[in-house]
Chains A and B, each alone.
Chain A
Amino acid sequence: MPIQWNRRAALVISAAGMLSLATRLAAEEGRLRLAFIPQENPQKLLGDIEAITGWLSGEIGVPVEGFVTIDHAAAVEALRNGDADISFMGALPFVLAEAEIGAVPLLSEVYRNAPSYTGRVFVRRDSGVESLADLRGRDIAFADPISESGYLYPLAEFMNAGLIDGPGEAEAFFGRVFFAGGYQQAMQAVAEGLVDAAGASQYADLLLTPEQQAAVTWIAESEAIPSHLVIARPGVDADLQRRFVDAMMRLNEADNRDMLRYIYGPDGYVKADPAAYDGVRDMARRYGLLE
C-alpha cells in the first residue's frame, strides 16, 4: 500500500522545515533553539514543547523555539550543524557529542534526590535465577544498544563478574540477546516469560503492573550512572546560555515545579558537573564507542 501523506511524515517534514529555518534563526542573535528527543507520543511532546518554550521565553527574555528530532543522533547532528543551540540528551550521546563536536554540559536531571541512577538485571522471582552466572545460555532483553542503563551498564556487570570478556562476547554467553526497544518492552518480555532476564533502569520495574512487579526481582546492579542532561553546542552566546541555565534552575522553585512535567518530568535540575560523566566516558571507551 503506497504511503502518501501521514502525520509521521508531516512531523519529520515539519521538523526538517524547521531545521532549515533554524539554520537561519540560530544565526540571528537573541534566539534560542531547543532540540527535544521524542517520547512514545510525539504529539504530546509537541504540546509540551509549546508550554515549556513559552515559559522559557518569558523567563529569558528572548524567543525560545523547540523542535522534535527523531532520536539522540539527530539531536547531536542538529547541534553540530547549528540548527539547535541546546538539546536534552542522554549521558552516552552527550560524551560522544562532547568528543565529536565539543558539546557543553549545562544541567543534569535529578530523580529521587540524586542526579544519577543505576541499571539492573531483572529476572522473575520464580525463575530460579539467583546470580548472573545462572544466565549462561539463557535469553536476555536489553532496552537499546546505545542505552546506558538499558544495555551498557547492565552488560558491564557480566564483564565485572568475569562472565564475559568484552561487549562482543555477549552473544556467546547468552542464549539470545534482544533489543526490545525500551525499558517497558524489555521488562514486559521478562515478566511475560519471553526471556529470562532484562537489563534496564533501576526504576524500570515500576513500568510493570503491581502484580508483575511482585513477580519480578533483580540480581545485579550497576555502578551509579549520571542522569540525563541538557547540553549546548559550543559557541552559544555566553550571556544567553547563562540566562537559560538560570531559568532552568528556577524550575526547582515551588512555583515553577509543575513546568517540569513538560520536559520529561524529572524532580528537578542541578548544574552539570562535567567530571560526573567520567564514568560514562570510561564506559564508552570500554565499548569502543570513544577513543
Chain B
Amino acid sequence: MVIRELQGLLFMACAGAFLSFGPTNATPAKETPWLPDAAAYRLTLFLGSLEPLPWNDVASAWSDTHRNSEFSEGALAWLRDTSDVDTGPLLDTIENKDRQALFAAATQLVALRIEEELDRALDAEDPATAQQAVRTAREIYRAFADGIAAADPGAARQIGLAWLELNSATGSAGVLGAGGTPADREAMAEARTAISDYLSANYLVDEFAPRQILNTLPETVVLTGRSVEVPPSLPPGSDIFDQDPLPLLVLNFEEQGIDESDLPLVAYGDMLFDSAQIFGSPARDLGIACSTCHNRSDINQRFFIPGASHQPGAIDVDGAFFNPVFNDRRDDPLDIPSLRGLRFTGPYGRDGRFASLRDFTRNVIVNEFGGAEPTPFMLDALLAYMLEFDFLPNTLLTADGKLTGQAAEAARRGEAIFDRPFAGLGDRSCASCHVPDGNFLDRQAHDIGSAEPAYAGARAGAFDTPTLLGTVYTAPYFHDGSLPTLASVVDWFDESKSLGLSETERADLTAYLEAVGSADEPYETFDAENTAFRLAFSELTTFASTLDTLLPRRDAEHILLLTDTVATDLSADASTMSNLTGRPEVYALAERLAKVGVAVRDEDWEAAEAHWSAFKDEARLIEERAF
C-alpha cells in the first residue's frame, strides 16, 4: 500500500465510529468517495424521507452523477456496466411514486449488489481480483453500516470481523512470485456466509415494515418495534465545508484594537455562532452552526445539501430536513445572505419580516434548526457578537458612498447611470433604493418582479433591499441566486424594467457595481505562519476566555455549552494541523477543557477553577512552542 492513499485526507463515514463520542464538532470531515450505486441508495433514503417527496430528485439520484462524484457516470449506467442486478423494479417504483416500494426495491438492489461482488470474490482465481471484489462489496455495504451499528452493535462487529477475515483469506499474489500466499477458500466461504446470512435476514426480505423515516435499520430490529435512532448523516453530494478562499472577518472592536477576550459577552456570542450545540438534531449532530452558512460573517458559496439546496450557496431552512415541525412544504430555497454590516441591514429575513434581529435569531435557532429555547444571555451574546460585523473596507468608496479618485473611469460613468431616474423604475433611480450614503440599501422591501407570484393575485414578491457592499464576493445574486454575475443583474434590470441602456452603459453600470461591491482585502490570507489551525486555535482559546466571567458566576448552563463546544472543536481541529507532532498536546488541552465541564457537572467548582487555570497555562505554552 502506498502513502499516496492518504493525500486526500479521506475519512470513511462509519456511523459506528461516531456513536461513542460526545458533542458533535463543527469541523466537517471529507468522506471517502461513494460508489455510484451506494451513493444513489443513500440519496434515495435521504430524499425519500422528505415531505413532500422530491420524486424528480430521486430519479436523478439514480440517473445522474451526484455532486462532486469522482465517477463519470450515474448509478444506472454504472450498474449497466458492472452488474447483472435488475434495476427494473426500482425504476417502476419511481415511476409509480410508491415510497415504500421504492425503499424495498432500492434496499434489495444494494443487498444484491453486495452479494454479486461477494460471488465474484469467491469465484476469483487470483488474489488481486478477489481483493478488488471484496473492496467493492465492502464499499457498497457501507450504505447499510450506520443502521446496523446503531441497532445491532454486536452484528456490526461480527460483520466487521468477517470483512477482515474475508480480505485476509484472499491471500496475496506477492511480486514476481515472492511473498505470495494462497487463498484460504474455506475461510473465505465462512466469512462470506456471516455477511450474507445477515443481509438475507435483514435486507433481502420479501416485505419491509413501513418506515416513517427511510433508514438502514436491519429489518429484524425494526420488527421488534424497538426504537433505535440512526445518527443523522448527509447524503453523498452534500458539502458543508467552509468556502475556499475563506472570507475575511471584519469586527468593529478588533479594528479599534480592542481584544475580544476583554469582551466576554461578544466572545461568548462568537462561540455560539460557531456552536452546533445551540441547534437541534439533525443540524446539531451534523455539526452545522451559524458559521457553516455564514463563513466569517459572510456567505458560504459551496454549501449544498441535496433536497434542501437547489444550487451551491443556497438552502431551504423551512423545509422537511432540519425541523419537520417548521416544514412549510414549499420548495423555496434561498441564496445564503451575507451578514456583514448586520446592524445596518435590518429588517431581517429576505422579505424583511423581522424588524428585530433578536426575534430573527431566535427564529433561526428554535424554528429553522429545531434548537431549544435560547436563554436571554445566549441571545444577548449572539447579538453582541453579530452587531460587530462590519463591511469590508473599500478604498474605492468614500464614507458617504461616493466613488473615490481610485475608481476607474467606467465606474464613474456607471455612477451617473446609477443616480439617473428611469421611467421603468417609476421615475426612480437605482440609488433610490440602494442609497449610497445609507450603505446602499433603504431598509425596505420592494416587489421588483424577481419572484413568480405563488398564486394568482398574490402580492408576496417583495424582498428586502440588499446592500451592494461586498457583493463582488457573494455571487450569485437575487433571493434565489438566479443571476450569476453583477453584469447579469444589470442586464436583468435593463430588460425587465426597459431601461434602454446601451451596451456601453451596461458595462459602465456593471463597472460601478463592481467598484461599490469591491474590497481591499476580501479573503483571509493563510501562509506558513497564519495557518487555518492557528486561526481556529486562537478563536477557540478566545471563546474559552469567557470562563473567566462564567466560572465566578457559577453559571453552569452556559459553561457547559462552552466546554462542550470548544473542547470538541479544539480536538477536531487538531486534525487540520500541519505540525502533526503537535497534535497530542492539543488533544491534551481539549481534554483539560472537557475536565472543566466534568467538574462543573459534578458541582466541584474548585476543581473546575483549577482545570481552567491549568488550561490557560498549557494553552500559552502551546502557543509559544507550536507557533
Contact = CB atoms under 8 A, between A and B. Distances in A.
B349 interface: no
B75 to A, nearest CB: 13
Contact of A73 (B25, B120, B173, B572): B173
SS class, residues of chain B in contact with chain A = helix
Contacts of B161: 194
Interface in A200-239: 200-201, 203-204, 206-215, 217, 227-228
A40 to B, nearest CB: 7
28 contacts: A3-B120, A4-B84, A6-B83, A8-B82, A39-B5, A41-B70, A41-B71, A44-B71, A70-B132, A147-B1, A150-B1, A177-B168, A179-B168, A181-B134, A184-B5, A184-B10, A184-B12, A189-B160, A201-B5, A207-B6, A207-B9, A210-B11, A210-B25, A211-B25, A212-B17, A214-B571, A284-B178, A289-B178
A41 B573 CA distance: 28
Contacts of B2: 37, 90, 228, 264
A117 to B, nearest CB: 5
Given A149-B3, A180-B164, A209-B13, 11 more contacts: A3-B84, A145-B179, A146-B172, A147-B1, A179-B168, A182-B1, A204-B6, A213-B574, A214-B571, A214-B572, A264-B4
Given A41-B33, A184-B32, A265 B172 contact: no
A177 B155 CA distance: 21
A238 to B, nearest CB: 25
B135 interface: yes
B21 interface: yes
Given A204-B6, A209-B17, A213-B574, A93 B1 contact: no
Contact of B164 (A141, A150, A264): A141
B372 interface: no
Nearest to B576: A210
Contacts of A228: 2-4
Contacts of A37: 2
Interface string B557-591: 00000000000000111110000100110010010
Contact of A201 (B1, B70, B571): B1
Interface of A: 1-8, 10, 37, 39-41, 43-44, 47, 70-74, 76-77, 80, 90, 92-93, 96-97, 100-101, 109, 111, 117, 141, 143-147, 149-150, 177-185, 188-189, 191-195, 200-201, 203-204, 206-215, 217, 227-228, 264-266, 284, 287, 289-290
Interface of B: 1-14, 16-18, 21, 25, 27, 29, 32-33, 70-72, 78, 81-85, 116, 119-120, 128-129, 131-132, 134-135, 138, 157, 160-161, 163-165, 167-168, 172-176, 178-179, 181, 571-575, 580, 583-584, 587, 590
Closest 3 CB pairs of A and B: A264-B4, A210-B572, A265-B7
Given A1-B84, A203-B3, A214 B167 contact: no
Contacts of A3: 84, 116, 119-120
Contacts of B584: 217
B196 to A, nearest CB: 13
A289 B560 CA distance: 57
B25 A93 contact: no
Contacts of B7: 264-266
Contacts of A204: 6
Given A7-B78, A182-B1, A71 B128 contact: yes
A109 B176 contact: no
Contact of A195 (B116, B132, B164, B176): B164
Given A111-B3, A188-B17, A213-B575, A207 B11 contact: yes
A48 B339 CA distance: 40
A185 B175 contact: no
A7 to B, nearest CB: 4
A193 B85 CA distance: 34
Given A210-B574, A211-B572, A193 B157 contact: yes
B378 to A, nearest CB: 25
A58 B192 CA distance: 49
A206 B583 CA distance: 11
A4 B164 CA distance: 28
Contacts of B119: 1, 3
Contacts of A141: 164
Contacts of A177: 168
